[in-house]
Chain A
Amino acid sequence: MSYTLSRTGAVGERALRQLRHDRRFLGLSLVAPLLIIYLLYVFFESTSSPFFRPTEFIVPVGAFIVHFITFLLCAIVLVRERTARTLERMFVNGYRQREIIGGYLLAYTGLATLQSLAVLTEMHLLFALDYSLDRLLSIYLVMWLLAVISLALGILISNFARNEGQIFPFIPLVILPSIFLSGVIVSVEKLPEWAQWLGRLTPLYYANEVIQALIEPGGSLDDAWISLALLPIYGVAILLLAMLTLRERE
């Protein structure tokens, strides 16, 4: 067990060292979501209307942006391991699936934590989010959980791609539909039954349920505790799937 932990730590430490050395990658990971949020701010400001309150949209959209970028970056980094043959070399040196995935999760959770914090802070400043500290912390928790699930999803999807280019078809297949089906734009109840079920397969659905409960006047976590509890369960299920599908040999 301690052997497994130390090897998981070694993978995590190495992934962090790489992040530290690859400043362009690190910078883009943090700056890209902030830039998109700022562009959204400019967009909402230009289309301001008394009937439209951007604050109702911006928090779930912000969560989606972190979800999308974290998924993409993690998937690409893992596929890069495959194309550079370092994944094969790790296996031949005795690293196991769970140690590789655990190590990556450790390292990139650090990045996701920073990303979620930066995005929420920017949204709070730009859109003057009028929520209590409790609610802001709860929103942060949901965004953070979604970001960690996105890492797991990125790891899972990378198992089905042989190179970086093969990641891109998964974006319209896996990530983009979630914004239409999860209730971020249109209420899930208005969708056909089959689309509602598809929506429930996406992590953004559960994150949005919790966020909507938190941003509603008088709402609290108690109104969406089932969805909140389902988020870590969803994450664990995706991680298990990722471990099962991470192929050691061709």
Chain B
Amino acid sequence: MAMTGSKESASAISVSGLRKLYGRFEALKDVSLTVERGEIFGLLGANGAGKSTLIKVLVGSLKPSAGSVQVLGLDPIKQAQLLRRQIGYMPQVPALYEDLSPRDNVRFFGKAHGLANLERRIDEVLEFVNLRSRERDPVYSFSGGMKQRVSLACALIHAPRLLLLDEPSAGVDPKLREAFWQHFRELAANGVTLLVSTHQMDEAFHCDRVAIMRDGLFLACDTPKNLMRRGRAQISIWRGAEVDRHAVTNYAEQLPGILRRYNLDPSITRVEIEEDTLEAIVLDMINVREAQITPAKEAVDVVHA
């Protein structure tokens, strides 16, 4: 596959000061982001946070109002044709021809890329999304999750170098969702970059890094592990039947200090640590008051009310 114009760029995605306005409504507010090649990058946020808008800007479906965007070293607007040979895009809605079969849909999008071994490749992607047995049925007879699978197959058909997936696992059963992520990890191990939007918190752990979005802003952008450290924890120290509870924001750092206060009291019988879930941490972030949201890098240090 041709990779013209993109060899020099180290990052798969490089966005700086990106803004997108729909009339007077600002859907993206000064977003900056770098995604490395082979990385799985997650976009987490509620509906209307700006995830889909960001993905559409990256695939060149939307023109940014301000800022610079480079995808695989190419400008998604000025070098759209070069870029589109190398990316796979799965929109939030299935965007399929419902009166056609999965095979016909995948074939049609595959033909855009002039693949030599198209029929064999169609077999492979339909096998992967577990739809070989229904490959000739009309898509309108499918459930929402099955349509998502067809849509994913369409995005994978030309073995793209960068996959931009807008909620790929919505409506997909947990077993298949796990298979999707297993495959995404294999793709990433082979150098494919993935940008995946989701509102499923547990999926964040499949990502190398996650950005949490709200109202067109990145509230935080970090590894899932580091995001966990932003949560609160409750440390309960038991001395027989007596219990002392300490609320902390970072138990890993604060636990030694708390224990020192007890002077290694031999009467301590049990130490319990109850952490926030990632879901609670993210919900805390996306429910933070408007006044406390500041753009870009500062937004990482949001203070909770």
Contacts and interface: CB of A to CB of B under 8 A. Distances in A.
Contact of A21 (B60, B93, B113, B138): B138
A95 B80 CA distance: 11
A18 B91 contact: no
Interface residues of B, number: 29
Interface stretch (B6-14, B94-102, B236-244): B94-102
Contacts of A84: 93, 95-98
B262 interface: no
Contacts of B77: 249
Interface string A86-126: 10111111111000000000000000000000000000000
Contacts of B100: 14, 17-18, 21
Interface stretch (B103-111, B178-186, B194-202, B278-286): B103-111
B3 interface: no
B181 to A, nearest CB: 23
Interface stretch (B29-37, B38-46, B81-89, B213-221): B81-89
A249 B114 contact: no
B165 to A, nearest CB: 13
Nearest to A88: B61
B112 interface: yes
A36 to B, nearest CB: 26
A94 B97 contact: no
B63 interface: yes
A7 interface: yes
B59 interface: yes
A3 interface: yes
A6 B111 contact: yes
A25 B248 CA distance: 65
The B interface is mostly helix, strand or loop, or mixed, namely: loop
Interface in A138-180: none
Nearest to A87: B95
B62 A249 contact: yes
Nearest to A15: B97
A88 B80 CA distance: 13
Contacts of B93: 84-85
B112 A10 contact: yes
Report the contact-size class of chain A (Cβ under 8 Å from the partner): 20 to 34
Contacts of A216: none
A3 B116 CA distance: 12
B104 A17 contact: yes
Nearest to B89: A92
Contact of A249 (B61, B81, B89, B113): B61
B60 A7 contact: no
Contact of B95 (A89, A95, A249): A89
A160 B160 CA distance: 33
Contact of B108 (A10, A21, A96, A250): A10
A20 to B, nearest CB: 9
Interface in B137-195: 138, 154
Interface string A16-40: 0110011000000000000000000
Nearest to A21: B99
B81 A94 contact: yes
A142 B13 CA distance: 54
Contact of A14 (B62, B81, B108): B108
B96 A86 contact: yes
Contacts of A96: 81
16 contacts: A10-B112, A14-B100, A14-B108, A17-B104, A21-B100, A21-B138, A85-B91, A85-B95, A88-B61, A88-B91, A89-B91, A89-B154, A91-B84, A92-B60, A94-B85, A95-B112
Which 9 A-B pairs give the minimum distances between C-beta atoms?
A: A10-B111, A85-B95, A93-B112, A21-B99, A94-B84, A89-B95, A14-B108, A92-B89, A94-B112
Given A89-B91, A92-B84, 13 more contacts: A10-B108, A18-B97, A21-B99, A21-B100, A89-B95, A89-B109, A91-B61, A92-B61, A92-B87, A92-B89, A93-B112, A94-B112, A95-B112
